[in-house]
Amino acid sequence: MKLSVILVNYNTCDMLRLALNSVVRAALGIDHEVFVVDNGSADKSLAMLQDEFPGVNVLANSKNEGIAKAYNQALKLTAGEYVLMVSADTITGKKTIEKALEFMDMHTDAGGLGVRMITPDGSFLKESKHGFTQPWAIFFKLTGLAKYFSKSRLTDVLRKDWVEEFQTSETDVLNGAFMLYRKEALNHTGELDERFHVYGYDIDLSYRVRLTGFKNYYFPKTYIINFNTRGRAKFSFAYIKEFYGAMIIFASKYLFKVPEIKVEGLPQLYPSTYEVK
In the chain, pLDDT over 70 holds for what percent of residues? 81
Q: What is the mean pLDDT of the chain?
A: 85
The answer regarding whether domain 3-254 maps to CATH 3.60.15.10 reads: no
Residue 112, pLDDT above cutoff 60: yes
- Which pLDDT belongs to residue 70? 97
Q: Which residue has the higher pLDDT, 238 or 129?
A: 129
E strands, the chain, where?
3-9, 32-39, 57-61, 82-86, 90-92, 110-118, 169-171, 178-182, 215-226
Q: What is the pLDDT of residues 150-188, one digit of tens each?
A: 677 666 555 555 557 888 989 988 999 999 999 999 999
User: Tell me: the pLDDT tens digits for 233-276?
Assistant: 555 667 677 776 777 787 777 775 544 545 454 333 333 333 34
Which amino acid belongs to residue 271? P
